[in-house]
Structure 1
Amino acid sequence: MVKNIQKKVIQLIEKKPLLQKEIYNKLKAKTKEERKKVRDALKEMMDNGEIYKNSKNKYCLPGKNMKIGIIEFTRRGSMAFVTIKGGEEIAITLENAKDAMHKDTVLVEIIGTWRDLPKGKVVRVLKRGMKKVVGIFEKKKLFGFIIPIDQKINTDFYVAPENFNDAKPGQVVEAEIIKYGGKNPEVKITKIIGDTNDPKVDLPIVIIKHELPEPGVFPKNVMNEALKIPNTVQDKDLKGRKDFRDEIIFTIDGDTAKDFDDAVQIKKLDNGNYLLGVHIADVSHYVKENSNLDKEAFKRGTSVYLIDTVIPMLPHELSDWICSLVENEDRLTMSLLMEIDENGDVVDFNVYNGVIRSKKRLTYSKVNKLLSNEADEELEKEIGWLRPQLEMMKELMEIIRENRRRRGAILDIEGGEVKFIFDENGNVKDIIPVERGISEVIIEEFMIKANETIASIFDSQGLPFIYRIHEEPDPDMLLQLKNYLEIIGLRYRFPKNIHPKLLQDLLEHLKDHPLKKSIQKLLVRSLKRAVYSDLNVGHFGLASENYTHFTSPIRRYPDLIVHRLLKKYLKGKGTLSKKDIEKYTEKLPEIASHSSKRERVANEAEWDLADMKKVEYILDHMNEIFEVYITNVTKFGLFVEIPDKFIQGLVHVSSMDDYYVYNEKLNVLVGDRKKKVYKLGDKIKVRVKNANKLTAEIDFEIVDKTDEEMEKELKGKYPNAKIKVKRKKKKNKK
């Protein structure tokens, strides 16, 4: 119906632009319901960039060489890219950006090419993307201005005296944009977030910058629905469900986890095969399609994990309780039972609407201790009775993992994840790398196997579905990786049609290389980003033909959609109705695209907060000397990283002890006078020169010798002298 209206609209406005009421008349939409369908069709077309409104409020089609998309500026605001529906990018130089701001929806005219991309100029801003801005308030005599913290925003904002709202210079504030356009758009300060050196300002900054909801806060209509849901499983809910409550089923999660999406069970069958049960919270039973809960979950797309704060996709009444597979409580599930042979292949499976009662809430740390034979008497008493099941799970994990290794999946990429340790005042005391243990790998392998199995059901029948896809790497990015490896003395052949097995072999070969983590990062950058799609092109990194996200419906909207489709499939006894096939064929592209965007926003927010906390740590270690590895060489300096803490920074050429010339062919910096060479992988000593928490930038300077080394050298020359080297300490800019 919607597609039919959209076709008619295009036919009408092809002839001439029309007002909304003129479209109503042309389409003979007279009733409220008919007009709502027209409005919905127009809104979807606007959102998709198919049509736009001109200055007279009339709907138009983009002209020849015209595109509609969302503009995003680069980190320093010196360049922009417009992304149109479908992912195509158009490069916009600053002089062609007109008065567009970061995240605006714009009409762009293609005027040429920029490198390998079309080059465009902004013809018109169709919709403003930012309503608020977070920044530092500064005052100049009678007026004030705000310097945005987000470096992608390429302008300061004017504040009239009546809109200061008691803000003091230097404070971090939130402001509402009240006038767009011009050199300095105007804002009014709506909230004082705090002082720049207060660790409590970091979280609000990230939340406002990425336009995230306030933690734990949901609209009233959403909460009204959530509070009406019973907090226990009702007898009527059990109708038609397979009862697993007497089975030994348990959850394994992190120490601080509160939402338990998945529970597992295992048995050995008489034929020697394994029976693996993966039971996933049946969120779709409680979050009904088109309900307020559903609309809000779609809008959010995902839960966001900001160190020790969670912004959940669903209210806590669902995410932490009735949908969470808590210990000793009846819970509704979508249950997948897989028979897996000694080669790690699924030879049979069944899916059920189920009900379970988790026998135990296990944690990764406890299971790791038990399986590594490091459990004390207390831990043995608590979970030792589950040792047979856990040992069998470890055994099956190794079989499944080896199966994935044989087919060429990339197994050994470490995420560079860290854990922040805070003091009593909320300041970062230490940063430690997160190490994955046996239990984390067990759950990862079981969830991958479950996701592949569910995806194969829909792919084999060509039914509409939402897949998790990962396309093949960009050849240009692989060339960069190849050149990087050659510079550090490693030669690898990269065939035209690359298989993930080659990259896995590379990682195994580099197991003990000091630059392993840097190479892993470059490898990750050379791979395309995994996204959601209604079209299945497989998952390159997993070397999987069919993959989806089925296992986390509490925190990911696509998983919830997969559950709905699975329920309809079971109800249809192995297929979908014609009505559902038409409906989901139309709906899934938008759901997939929106979910991918929301995941990206969540990732960037998580990275931003982590980077700010890393700088906070550095600010307390300004006078220390760090051993770092050079991870990249450019004409303007050296990018370096503190290993284990994954803290990156720049040694700028202006701070170095010579005039350094960049040799592009060898990718090295060479000193003009001393002929000293700096190359990838070199270990050097540095001290912090500058650090800015709000921009998450760190500048280092090279220290050739530590204070102790200088003292030793001088004492060797002057044995009778009292020597104590004390370099001038830099002011802590915190």
Structure 2
Amino acid sequence: MNDKNLKEEILKRIDKNPLLQKEIYESFKAHSKTEKEAIRNALKELQEEGKIYKDSRNRYCKVDENLAIGIINFTKRGSMAFVECEDGRKIAVKVENSGISLHKDEVAVEIIGTWKELPEGKVIRILKRGLKYVIGEFERKGIFGFVVPIDGKINMDFYVSPEHIGLAKNGQIVKAKIIRYQSPTKNPEVEIVEVLGDKDDPSIDLPIVIFKHDLPEPGYFPKKVLEEADKLPDKVLPEELKGRKDFRKERIFTIDGDTAKDFDDAVGIKKLKNGNYLLGVHIADVSHYVKEGSEIEKEAYKRGTSVYLIDTVIPMLPFKLSNEICSLNEGQDRLTMSLIMEIDPYGHLVNSRIYNGVIRSVKRLTYSKVNELLSDNCSPEVEKDIGFLKPDLEMMKELMEILSKKRKERGSIIDIESHEVQFIFDEKGYVKDILPVERGVSEQMIEEFMVLANETVASYFDVKELPFLYRVHEYPDPDLILQLHNYLELLGIKVKMPATIQPKFLQEILERTKDHPLSKNIQMMLVRTMKRALYSETNIGHFGLASTSYTHFTSPIRRYPDLIVHRLLKEFMRHKGSLSNKEIKKYSYLLPKVALHSSEREKIADQAEWDLIDMKKVEYISRHIGDVYEVYITGVTRFGLFVEVPTKMISGLIHISELHDDYYNYDEKTNSLIGERTGKIYRIGDKLEAVVVRADKLRMEVDFVPYVEDELAKYSQQYPNAKIKGLKKNNKISKKRKK
């Protein structure tokens, strides 16, 4: 019996009567090890496909059309939940229909209707608990206490009996182990296992984020993974060079950030006699060392990506690979996958070739030094250090400008300003200042070259319709595009809406508004229309890049999908531009699973990074309670205004109850608040002055109120906890008023 028939037969046998695994063995009269293994594999595949599930009695049950299995994820304030299924379906669950499920539980839901175009469900069974621990603030109530979770997605408090309190003190942040889950009448119960510290202590922020997102501790890898890594060579061995193209005499170098420790891409450039550019993009050959099925590979898949938490990295691969044998370190022989591309003076790709290569980087360059070298104010020290590469870098800048122009012409919109920030810490670890991170010419160069490399590799597989892992980006949300259009109209910017939204339309908006005083807000609103980029086995193109085919090939040290793409490339090269039937079958089954898992891991990593950044921003603003800032409205809702301090990129809320001068109604059509009596309008992009009155670092919340000069006493009375001793005006505002 083949795999397909076996799975169909299992579904028939459990259709009416759920069965234990041993009962399924008996029904098939399976006695041999091979027969039992085939059934186990079939059961596993059926579970992964969402066609069967295990009930509370460990019996296998068939999922019918009105039932779905998935992980329940509550929204930030715990007011709604969504069940995400293995097959990518999403089911909405109202809180009243979530039963006693907790965030991250695996649940069975019954489909009961629709909610905003999504199927709506009701949790009928909890299959597997997702949370084992919880982090929160300890609140003592006499001899017992409660842990109030920091994560708003966990919408209940956890009871702590006297014997499980330990050394925790009221108001401290603790880690607690769940020892009993909730019932319809009782709160869940926990045991405090670790006191992290006082909530204002900056050192607790990192462990909170790591735990909240279930990330590994920095530096930790399982023993088996480290043992495997230790067996890897410290340098490239002579026998590893067989069949590789030798680029060691070429002028190839890395360009990365000042603090980077791992270098997985290097570049080199030449000008050909015909006037074309020959660009080499050399990527660390991680797949040579990370073998399929190895312990290192399993751990890399599990993590999915490296996570960057301000000045801490949780790497995907052990140090032995990420910083040593796979890192393209200066002066060291390193194995690569080398993509050589010929590009004409108009930016067209004339020809390309992929090789298994070996390089020796001539220099480790940094973005800051390259930017300085290519500027008009280069110091003698930088000239002496990297000046010998100036001709190459000037040629790269020339090519970058050609590629950038061509990409803009097709409508690519990746030139939106970066909203990255740099934190300046004091000696106690508190945030002293927040500075925007500026992108220079060297960052743009590397970005352009990596985009071209990723497109080129994706095209190899796309044109031959072979199994592949693409990086895709869907068309934007039409409703949000309409909001953007209406907002531009309100600003007096006339934009003709095309029948079909193309990237070029949004690129033209960016070009037309780049010198507008509200250009940053227009950019932010434009970004909000866009959907999240994902990994997929199906190529639907990349809207943001206006690219017909795109992948991630250039960072295998820190992204698992890139590792898979390298493996596919090696097979593609081995079969002279194709894949074997065996590989086609294998990857057709494997890639959907890898795409879904990698997209989810990337989402978790991004959220962890944003959470820590937001905590540090709130920490900074919490030391400026009572200060007045110029803010811009970034969002309008029925309950108030979302605003941002542009100089520090700190967001917060002005609740509608704080708009005392009138009664405001929300206008959905114009996405604005309109005063009934005065006709005053608040809309996205408006500038106003606001006072910081509350900042909660743990919940990442900042509250502002509009600044009215003669209402200082009222602020002090209404917000006694804000400790407003006298409003301190932002210097920029003060100077403006003096004028």
- Please indicate the TM-score interval, normalised by the length of the shorter structure: over 0.9
* Offset at residue 676 of structure 1 (A): 4.4
Determine the C-alpha separation between the residues in 2 that align with 1:266 and 1:135. 53
Matches within 5 A, 1:337-356: 337-356=340-359
Match of residue 133 from structure 2: 132
1:702-713 correspondence to structure 2 within 5 Å: 702-705=706-709
**Superposed, which structure 2 residues align to 1:637-676 within 5 Å?**
637-664=640-667, 665-671=669-675, 676=680
Matched-pair contact (CA < 8 Å) for 2:652–2:704 = yes
Q: What secondary structure is seen at the aligned counterpart in 1 of 2:15?
A: helix
Q: Residue 109 of structure 1 contacts residue 122 of structure 1 at CA under 8 Å; is this kept in 2?
A: yes
- Equivalent positions of 1:487-636 (< 5 A) are 487-636=490-639
Structure 2 equivalent of residue 92 of structure 1:
93
In the alignment, the residues of structure 1 paired with residue 17 and residue 666 of structure 2 have an alpha-carbon distance, to the nearest angstrom, of 58
In structure 2, distance between residues paired with 1:481 and 1:448: 27
- Structure 1, unpaired ranges of 5+: 709-725
Q: 1: distance between equivalents of 2:29 and 2:480?
A: 53
CA gap 1:130/1:347 in 2 versus in 1, 3 angstroms: same
Task: Identify if the C-alpha distance between structure 1 residues 167 and 4 changes in structure 2 by more than 3 Å, giving closer, same or farther.
Answer: farther
Q: In structure 2, what is the Cα distance between the partners aligned to 1:707 and 1:371?
A: 52
Residues 418-464 of structure 1: CA deviation (Å, up to 9, x unaligned): 11111111111111111110000000000000001111111111111
Question: Which of these residues, 214, 217, 232, is aligned with residue 214 of structure 1?
Answer: 217
Which has the higher mean CA deviation after the structures are superposed, 49-58 or 211-220? 49-58
Contact 2:418 2:438 in 1 (8 A): no
1:286 counterpart residue number:
289
> Equivalents in 2 of 1:221, 1:168: separation in Å?
39
The match for 1:374 among 377, 394, 405 is: 377
| 1:14-163 aligned within 5 A | 14-163=15-164
Q: 1:476 aligns with which of 467, 475, 479?
A: 479
> What 5-or-longer segments of structure 2 have no aligned partner?
713-722, 729-739
Residue deviations 1:385-440 (CA, integer Å, cap 9, x gap): 10000000001111111111122211321231111111111111111111110000
Q: What SS does the corresponding residue of 2:298 show, helix, strand or coil?
A: helix
Q: Is the contact between residue 72 and residue 107 of structure 2 (CA under 8 Å) also seen in structure 1?
A: yes
Query: Contact 1:634 / 1:662 at 8 angstroms: preserved in 2?
Result: no
Alignment of 1:143-542 (within 5 A): 143-182=144-183, 183-542=186-545
Contact 1:251 1:361 survives alignment (8 Å): yes
SS of corresponding position for 1:436 = coil
2:719 alignment counterpart = none
Closer/same/farther in 2, CA of residues 447 and 28 from structure 1, 3 Å limit: farther
Query: Which consecutive segments of 4 or more residues in structure 1 shift more than 6 A?
Result: none
Q: How much has 1:372 moved relative to structure 2?
A: 1.3
Alignment RMSD (CA, Å): 2.0
Cα distance between partner residues in 2 of 1:57 and 1:663: 51
1:682 aligns with 2:686: yes
Distance 1:674 1:526, change over 3 A: closer
Are 1:487 and 1:667, in contact at CA under 8 Å, matched by a contact in 2? no
* Secondary structure in 2 matching 1:98: coil
2: CA distance, partners of 1:264 / 1:679: 46
Instruction: Verify: 1:692 aligned to 2:696, yes or no.
Output: yes
**Post-superposition offset of 1:28:** 4.5
Change (3 A) 1:668 1:535: closer
Given that residues 65 and 109 in structure 1 are in contact (C-alpha distance below 8 angstroms), is that contact kept between their aligned partners in structure 2?
yes
* 1:293 counterpart letter in structure 2: I
1:472-505 alpha-carbon deviations (Å, 9 max, x no partner): 1222222222233233333323323211000000
Q: Give the alignment's TM-score, normalised by structure 1.
A: 0.94
Q: Is the 8 A contact 2:50 2:87 kept in 1?
A: no
Moved more, 679-688 or 333-342: 679-688
Deviation at 1:524, TM superposition (A): 1.7
**Which residue pairs with 1:720 in the alignment?**
none
- 1:311 and 1:504 map into 2 onto residues whose CA distance is 35
Change (3 A) 1:64 1:272: closer
- Secondary structure, aligned partner of 2:47: helix
Corresponding residue for 2:734? none
Report how far residue 15 of structure 1 moved. 4.4
Q: Deviations over 1:233-263 (max 9, x none)?
A: 1111111111111100000000000110100
Cα offset, 1:80, TM superposition: 1.2
Contact 1:326 1:361 in 2 (8 A): yes
Task: Give yes or no for contact 2:49–2:87 (8 Å, CA) kept in 1.
Answer: no
**Which deviates further from its counterpart, 198-207 or 663-672?**
663-672
Contact 1:658 1:673 in 2 (8 A): no
Moved more, 133-142 or 447-456: 133-142
- Bigger drift between 142-151 and 636-645 goes to 636-645
Contact 2:637/2:666 (8 A) holds in 1: no
Identity of aligned residues (%): 62
Deviations 1:175-234 (Å, cap 9, x if unpaired)?
111211224111111211111000000000000000000011000000000111111111
| Residue type of the alignment partner of 2:87 | G
Structure 2 distance, partners of 1:327, 1:730, is 53
How far does residue 45 in structure 1 lie from its aligned partner after superposition?
Answer: 2.8
SS at match of 1:684: strand
Structure 2 counterpart SS, 1:168: coil
Moved more, 236-245 or 13-22: 13-22
Inter-CA distance 533–560: structure 2 relative to 1 (3 Å threshold) = same
CA 1:24–1:263: 2 relative to 1, 3 Å: same
Once structures 1 and 2 are overlaid, which stretch shifts more, 414-423 or 271-280? 414-423
Residue 666 of structure 1 deviates from its aligned partner by: 4.3
In the alignment, residue 58 of structure 2 is paired with which amino acid?
Answer: N
**Alpha-carbon offset, residue 729 of structure 1:** 4.5
Residue range with higher mean Cα deviation, 190-199 or 471-480: 471-480
AA of the residue aligned to 1:571: R
The more displaced of 288-297 and 580-589 is 580-589
Residues 239 and 727 (structure 1 numbering): CA distance in 2 closer, same or farther, change over 3 Å? closer
Secondary structure at 2:31's aligned position in 1? coil
Contact 1:159-1:187 at 8 Å conserved across structures: yes
The farther-off stretch of 511-520 and 667-676 is 667-676
Q: Distance in 1 between matches of 2:106 and 2:381?
A: 59
What is the deviation of 1:109?
A: 1.0
* Partner in structure 2 of residue 718 of structure 1: none
The answer to whether the 8 A contact 1:510-1:516 is kept is yes
SS of the residue corresponding to residue 461 of structure 1 reads coil
Q: CA deviation at 1:122?
A: 0.8
Counterpart CA distance in 2 for 1:675 and 1:528 is 34
Report the Cα distance in structure 2 between the residues aligned to 1:479 and 1:32, rounded to whole angstroms: 61
Q: How far is the alpha carbon of 1:730 from its aligned partner?
A: 8.8
What does residue 736 of structure 2 align with?
A: none
User: Which SS does the other structure have where 2:147 is aligned?
Assistant: strand
1:41-69 Cα shifts (integer Å, max 9, x gaps) = 32343244221112332101123411112
Partners of 2:119 and 2:243 in 1: CA distance: 56
1:590 Cα offset (Å):
0.2
Give 1:507 deviation, angstroms. Answer: 0.7
Q: Choose 326-335 or 177-186, whichever is displaced more.
A: 177-186
- Asked if residue 728 in structure 1 is aligned to residue 731 in structure 2, the reply is no
Secondary structure of 2:320's counterpart equals: helix
